[in-house]
Amino acid sequence: MNYSEINRAKIPKVVYLLLQKYHRIYGLGVIGWFKQPGSHYFSFFSQAVYEGRGRPKHLPELWGRYKLTLYQDHLGMPARGNDSVQAQHPHLHDRELRSKDMVQWIEEHLTLPQFFRDYSAEIDRWRRKCTVEQSERYLLTWNVMGLYAKAKKGMIYVAGSDPNYGMSDQKRKAASALGIQNPQIDLHVCRSLVFGSNAKVYLPDGNVVDFWEDYKKFPDVKKLMIHLQRM
């Protein structure tokens, strides 16, 4: 069996499980991105921690103060700073890993606790302002998008960081149609679909599906996916 591929396919789910655990309390967010010559990453940040112009701090962070980045295509983390060795799960290639064990390994290697402690005041302010619906839409987006990425064997890229580079006309139209104000963190491309972090998706024909509204009718995400695939 190709255990590397089996474990790789679980990474979007593992990312969603981390968001499910930390988003509501700490504003944890994530983007997927691409870097030549062919490296694919997920980088975590907090929606509470911004620079002056509205861009999240530490995004993406490979060599900074915190460890917030992992690979999309295998269970590992890139070298950073003075670290010359990349971290990689020791059993990545020789057995199927359980999702909860993958989450535990990632948590042991990321510096999320330190990150959350350092920005506790900003996170407290964010928590008081963020609505339940905003958080639930964000989590639903990553749940559905992760299932789609697994089914299509696709990578997830934030708009402007995919292999096509930049904001194409299609992505600009998608951002407008989806009501996305900050495409660099809230507009995600996977195969032929463009997702907004607000639980909406821009289809290749230009139509928009608000799957948050559909989720109210189909609260089982697997049934929701079947419904969306029929559209």
* DSSP-assigned letter for residue 166: B
Residue boundaries of the structural domains of the chain:
3-129, 132-229
Contacts of 112 (CB under 8 A, 6+ apart): 22, 26, 28, 44, 68
CA distance 217 to 153: 27
Over residues 153-204, the pLDDT tens digits come to 999 999 865 544 456 777 889 999 999 988 889 999 998 899 999 999 999 8
* DSSP-assigned letter for residue 97: P
pTM over 0.95: no
* DSSP-assigned letter for residue 81: T
Over residues 116-163, the pLDDT tens digits come to 999 999 999 999 999 999 999 999 999 999 999 998 899 999 986 554
The end-to-end CA distance of the chain, in Å, is 34
